Amino acid sequence: MGKPTGFLEYQRQEDAWIPVKERICDFQEFHKHLNEKERQMQGARCMNCGVPFCQSALQLKGMVTGCPLHNMIPEWNDEIYHGHYEHALSRLLKTSNFPEFTGRVCPALCEKACICGMNDSPVTVHDNELFLIEKAFEEGWMKPRIPEVRSGKKVAVIGAGPSGLAVADQLNHRGHLVTVFEREDRIGGLLMYGIPNMKLQKEVILRRQKLMEDEGVVFRTGCDVGKNVSAQELQEEYDAIVLCCGAKKARGLAVEDFNETKGIYYAVDFLTSTTKDLLNGKKEFAVSAEGKHVVVVGGGDTGNDCVGTCIRQGCASITQLEMMPMPPVERTADNPWPEWPKVLKTDYGQQEAIECFGADPRIYETTVKKLKTKKGKLTGIQTVKVGFENRKMVEQAGTEKDLKCDLLLIAAGFVGCEDYTAEAFNVPRTERGVIKTAPGAYGTEVSKVFTAGDMHRGQSLVVWAITEGRHCAAEVDEFLMGYTNLS
Q: What is the pLDDT of residues 310-341, one digit of tens each?
A: 999 999 999 999 999 999 999 999 999 999 99
Q: What is the per-residue pLDDT across 20-31, written as a single tens digit (0 to 9) for each?
A: 999 999 999 999
Could you tell me if 288 and 403 lie in one domain? yes
Task: Say whether 16 sits in a helix, a strand or coil.
Answer: strand
Are the C-beta atoms of residues 295 and 315 closer than 8 Å to each other?
A: no
Are residues 389 and 321 part of one domain? Answer: yes
Do residue 167 and residue 286 come from a single domain?
Answer: no
pLDDT tens digits for range 106-115: 999 999 999 9
In this structure, the answer to whether residues 106 and 25 fall within a common structural domain is: yes
Residue 259 domain flag: no
Identify the CATH number of the domain in which residue 334 sits: 3.50.50.60
Q: Is the pLDDT of residue 256 over 90?
A: yes
- How many Å apart are CA 266 and CA 275, to the nearest integer? 15
Distance between CA atoms of 88 and 74, rounded to whole angstroms? 10
User: What is the number of domains present in the chain?
Assistant: 3
Residue 390's pLDDT is 87
| Cβ 221 vs Cβ 269: under 8 Å | no
Q: Could you report the per-residue pLDDT of 413-462, keeping only the tens digit for each? A: 999 999 999 999 999 999 999 999 999 999 999 999 999 999 999 999 99
Angstrom CA distances, 393 to 62, 191, 382, stand at 21, 32, 17
Domain end call among 86, 111, 139: 139
Range of the structural domain that residue 287 is part of: 264-410
In a domain, residue 145? The reply is no
Q: What is the pLDDT of residue 3?
A: 84
Domain CATH for 78: 1.10.1060.10
User: How far are the Cα atoms of 328, 340, 387, 429 from residue 334, in angstroms, in the given order?
Assistant: 12, 11, 21, 36
Q: Does residue 144 form part of some domain?
A: no
* Environment class of 460 (CB within 10 Å of its CB; exposed 0-12, middle 13-18, buried 19+): middle
Domain boundary (139, 168, 195) is at 139
Say if pTM beats, i.e. exceeds, 0.75: yes
